[in-house]
Amino acid sequence: MPYWRFSNFYFFFFASIGVLVPYWSLYLKSLGFGPAEIGELMAVIMATKIVAPNIWGWIADNTGRRVQIIRLTTLFALIAFGGVFLRQGYWWIAAVMCLFSFFWNAALPQFEAATMNMLGDQAHRYSRIRLWGSIGFIVAVVALGPVLDLVGPGIIPVAILLMLLGLVVSAWLVPLENGLSVEHVGGSIWQVLSQPQVVIILLVCFLLQASHGPYYTFYTIYMEEAGYSRSLIGQLWALGVVAEIGVFVVMHRLLPRYGAKALLLLSLGLTTLRWLLTAWFVDSLAVMVFSQLLHAASFGLYHAVAIHLIHKIFIGRNQGRGQALYSSLSFGAGGAIGSLMSGYLWGGVGAVITFQLAALLSALAFLLTWRGLRSETL
């Protein structure tokens, strides 16, 4: 397997997230937008994941041209994002981010499918490649924090553009899937989705990502208002992803040993604890450090299990659409609703209650997994 060509793509894709997710809300705040408007603009990025991955997934599954689609969508994402330098009004920013994220959000699900196809019967080793995405996130978030302290948030769009340029180059280095044939196995997509276990898995993914809404939208602002410097906030973001890498390194051993259901329950339980700690102990750096270490569970452990389950459930010609559904229902619908609602709640009931409600969502996902999923089907 061309390891470095695949890991480079993950590096730059998640490096762009390492700028966009922690710092984009800070840039929007510098433009004069309030909490509700910031929540809405962040939700736009998430909302395109509901539609875009499914459109491109259908095209990829029916043409077999997965890598060409990845190259095309990353290039158009780069071009579209350039629009943020032309104007700074609310509706213009919303339109630009909608167009940009329509292409940007389409690339990763297809790349996940291409990676799993390339791994073949070594799919449990996916996390060893994916960890380079986490490294890219760390590099971006740590490097940009001190720069923001020096020059301010106006540099954020430039940093995102540079990460997108690296992503485009990486996409063109990924080898084509020569001779790829689209397998007509696994039944129709609707037959797969009619299975109750599949519905529960997708609903759990939706709830968990919705619970991340306050974190992805307001964590940087929340910590800044509590008195933390931007450099330290960037280091806390990075710490969470370092913990995530630790999970990815050992995941190929954990899954065969403990099984998907047990690991998913552990992830959801620790996620609930994380949001409660974030709500109640923001003034304690030690607790915030521990809370960030729980990112190993709330994202790393969860995502590795979810990708494993989606790859197992959606086979043959359903691979691309399976990855697209996972992305659109969890990171898309879940992320959009989580960001949108956190924007409205933040200015209404405050940060503490908002994070407590996030904990309630992840706790509900825990109960669904515990009572609704059968271990033998996973």
For residue 14 the two structure tokens come to 């998640």
The confidence score (pLDDT) of residue 112 equals 79
Buried-state track 299-331, b at ≥16 Cβ within 10 A, e below 16: bbbbbbbbbbbbbebbeebbbbbbbbbbbbbbb
Question: pLDDT: is 196 or 362 the higher one?
Answer: 362
Confidence of residue 187 (pLDDT cuts 50, 70, 90): low
The confidence score (pLDDT) of residue 3 equals 66
Question: pLDDT: is 185 or 198 the higher one?
Answer: 198
Q: Are 241 and 138 in contact (CB under 8 A)?
A: yes
Span 283-305, pLDDT tens digits: 999 999 999 999 999 988 998 88
pTM: 0.74
DSSP assignment, residue 331?
Answer: I
Judge whether residue 1 has pLDDT over 60: no
Q: Which of 260, 21, 250, 292 is nearest to 130 (CA)?
A: 250
| Mean per-residue pLDDT of the chain | 85
What is the rounded CA–CA span in Å between residue 290 and residue 263?
20
Q: Are 149 and 230 in contact (CB under 8 A)?
A: yes
Confidence of residue 179 (pLDDT cuts 50, 70, 90): very low
For residue 288 the two structure tokens come to 């915030």
How many domains are contained in the chain?
Answer: 1
The confidence score (pLDDT) of residue 161 equals 95
Judge whether residue 120 has pLDDT over 80: no
**In the chain, how long is the greatest CA-to-CA distance?**
57
Tell me which residue range forms the domain holding 373. Answer: 3-377
Judge whether residue 376 has pLDDT over 60: no
The confidence score (pLDDT) of residue 180 equals 46
The confidence score (pLDDT) of residue 99 equals 94
User: Residue range 208-232: average pLDDT?
Assistant: 90
CATH number of the CATH domain containing 29: 1.20.1250.20
